[in-house]
Amino acid sequence: MTLKVYCDRMSQPSRAILIFCKMNGIDFEEITINILKGEQHTPEYKAINPMCQVPTIVDGDFTLFESHSILIYLSCKYPGVASHWYPSDLVERAKVHSVLDWHHANLRRGSVGVIVNNVLLPLNGLPSNPQAAEEAEKTLEKALAVLETFWLKDGPFLAGRSQPSIADLNLVSEVMELELLSEELHDRILSPYKKVLQWVEDTKSATAPHFEEIHGVLFKTRKEFRELMAAKSGKTE
Partner 1 sequence: MALKVYVDRMSQPSRAVLIFCKVNGIDYEEILVDISKHKHVAPEYKAINPMCQVPTVVVDGKFKLFESHAILIYICCAFPGVASHWYPSDPFQRSKIHSVLDWHHSNLRQSAGVLVWNTILAPRHGLPLKHPLVAEESEKLLVRSLSKLEDFWLKDGQFLVVSSQPSIADIRLVCEIMQLELLSEKDYDRILKPYKKVVQWIEDTRRATAPHFDEVHGILFKVQKRLRKRMATEPVNYNHLKSKL
**Where on the chain is the footprint of partner 1 (CB under 8 A)?**
50-51, 62, 64-70, 72-73, 76-77, 90-91, 93-95, 97-98, 101-102, 104-105, 109, 131, 146, 149-150
Least CB distance from residue 215 to partner 1, whole Å? 23
Distance (Å, whole) CA 87 – CA 109: 26
| Rounded Cα–Cα distance for residues 20 and 203 (Å) | 12
In the bound state with partner 1, the residue whose beta carbon lies nearer, of 6 and 65, is 65
Burial class (CB in 10 A: 0-12, 13-18, 19+), 210: middle
Instruction: Specify which residues 3 forms β-bridges with.
Output: 28
CB of 46 to partner 1, least distance (A): 11
- Residue 3 CA to residue 144 CA, distance in Å, equals 34
Least Å distance, CB 174 to partner 1, is 14
**Least CB distance from residue 223 to partner 1, whole Å?**
30
Give the DSSP H or E segment for 140. Answer: helix 130-146
CB of 78 to partner 1, least distance (A): 11
Nearest CB to partner 1, comparing residues 64 and 185: 64
Nearer to partner 1, 86 or 211 (CB): 86
Q: Cβ closer to partner 1: 70 or 181?
A: 70
Angle 219-21-197 from CA coordinates, rounded to 5°:
45
Alpha carbon distances (Å) from 210 to 9, 15, 25, 203, 205: 12, 10, 11, 11, 10
Whichever of 104 and 194 has its CB closer to partner 1, that residue is 104
Min dist. Cβ of residue 214 to partner 1 (A): 22
Strands laid side by side in the 28-32 sheet: 28-32, 3-7, 56-59, 62-65
The rounded distance, in Å, linking the Cα atoms of 227 and 234 is 10
Judged by beta carbon, residue 28 or residue 73, the one nearer partner 1 is 73
